[in-house]
Amino acid sequence: MLWIFLTLAAAPLQVARNALQRSLLGDAGPLGAVLVRFLFGLPFSLAILGIALLLTPDAKPEFTTRFWVAISLGAASQLCASAALLLAMRRSGFAVATAMQQSSLPIAAILGSVFLGDALSPLAWAGVIAAAAGVTILSWPGRDQAQGGAMGALLGLGSGVAFAVTLNAYRQSGLALEPVHPVFAGVAGVCVAQALQSITLSAFLGLTRPAALRAVAASWRQSLGAGVFGAAASALWFAALALAPAAAVRAVGVAEIPVAALAGSRLFRERLDLRRIMGAALTAAGVVATAFGSG
């Protein structure tokens, strides 16, 4: 059950990182804001990796072809998912976009079950369905969001699909790298993925939008905060994915929705109506069922 506690610990850290990234959208743009997460998070991820190495001196990572294919696919999918999520937050609101991103839950379950052989009990599948229904209720645009909400919902759904691919790819990379020490494998995978993402995105922005790179550098204080929270959240996520199927980890990760709702209310003056509160309750029930069903 360690993966449940790791995932729950990652949820508020992820919300904090997303909030800091959202505030950088204006000057740096979506890709610049995404770069912040990986570039400024990499030094902290390397520090966490150093601690993991001290705790697991007998770890023997194997950088096989399977690992490189899986980590590269996960890194690319995460780049797309992060950019889509930030744009969805701008159009639909922080809490709603965070909720819509959770569409990765049923998609990850299907991908993991069909292609990777991850087994989920009937109770876990019932939890996945309940959580997915709750997410749908939470994410459905209200009348006051009819114009921007529709595009935000599509971007949120696209983010969910990309995150579903990311979750399963990162789980496979961890299993390929070091199956005996999953926490070490998760943290090491974070470092490799963030290095690939930082190099790729920095080069792309340097060629196409150098102003975005300057904006990221100018806002280094906010960027550093996003990097700290992002590195800690990613390390916990990767470790959890190395211990449990992606669908189960994503289900427990839905705990970030109420945290995002609170952050949206306090930081961005967003309000949730009764319909979305009921959706949150249904989602919470699904999280509990999936967690126990995957135990």
DSSP string, 24-70: THHHHHHHHHHHHHHHTTHHHHHHHHHHHHHH-TT------HHHHHH
Residue 64: count of CB within 10 angstroms of its CB: 12
The runs of H, that is alpha helices, within 56-145 are: 65-92, 94-101, 104-115, 122-139
For the cut 70, the answer to whether the pLDDT of residue 7 exceeds it is yes
Structural domain total, the chain: 1
Whether 139 shows a pLDDT value over 90: the answer reads no
More confident residue, 1 or 139: 1
- Cα distance between residue 2 and residue 6, in whole Å: 6
Strand, helix or coil at 180? coil
pLDDT of res. 66: 95
Amino acid at site 68:
W
Roughly how many angstroms between the first and final C-alpha of the chain, as a whole number? 6
Cβ burial 106-130 (10 Å sphere, 16+ → b, else e) = bbbbebbbeeeebebeebbbbbbbb
Regarding pTM above 0.95, the answer is no
Most confident of 4-18, 193-207, 250-264: 193-207
CB atoms within 10 A of CB 134: 26
CB atoms within 10 A of CB 60: 10
Instruction: Choose the weakest-confidence range: 22-26, 185-189, 241-245, 272-276.
Output: 22-26
Q: Please tell me the least confidently modeled range out of 21-30, 44-53, 54-63, 271-280.
A: 21-30
| Residues 39-49, mean pLDDT to the nearest whole number | 88
Angle between helices 220-243 and 146-177 in degrees, nearest 10: 60
Nearest to 228 by CA among 14, 52, 4: 14
Is pLDDT of 97 > 60? yes
Question: Are 81 and 159 spatial neighbours (Cβ–Cβ below 8 Å)?
Answer: yes
d(CA 149, CA 139): 9
Q: What is the pLDDT of residue 124?
A: 77
**Mean per-residue pLDDT of the chain:** 78
Residue 177 banded pLDDT, cuts 50, 70, 90:
very high
Q: Shortest CA distance to 135 belongs to which of 269, 251, 4?
A: 251
Q: How far apart are CA 274 and CA 130, in angstroms?
A: 18
Q: Which residue has the higher pLDDT, 48 or 37?
A: 48
The CA distance from 279 to 98, in Å, is: 13
Provide the pLDDT confidence category of residue 268 given band limits of 50, 70 and 90: low
Which residue range is the domain that position 75 belongs to?
2-294
Residue 106 has a pLDDT of: 65
Percentage above 70 pLDDT, the chain: 76
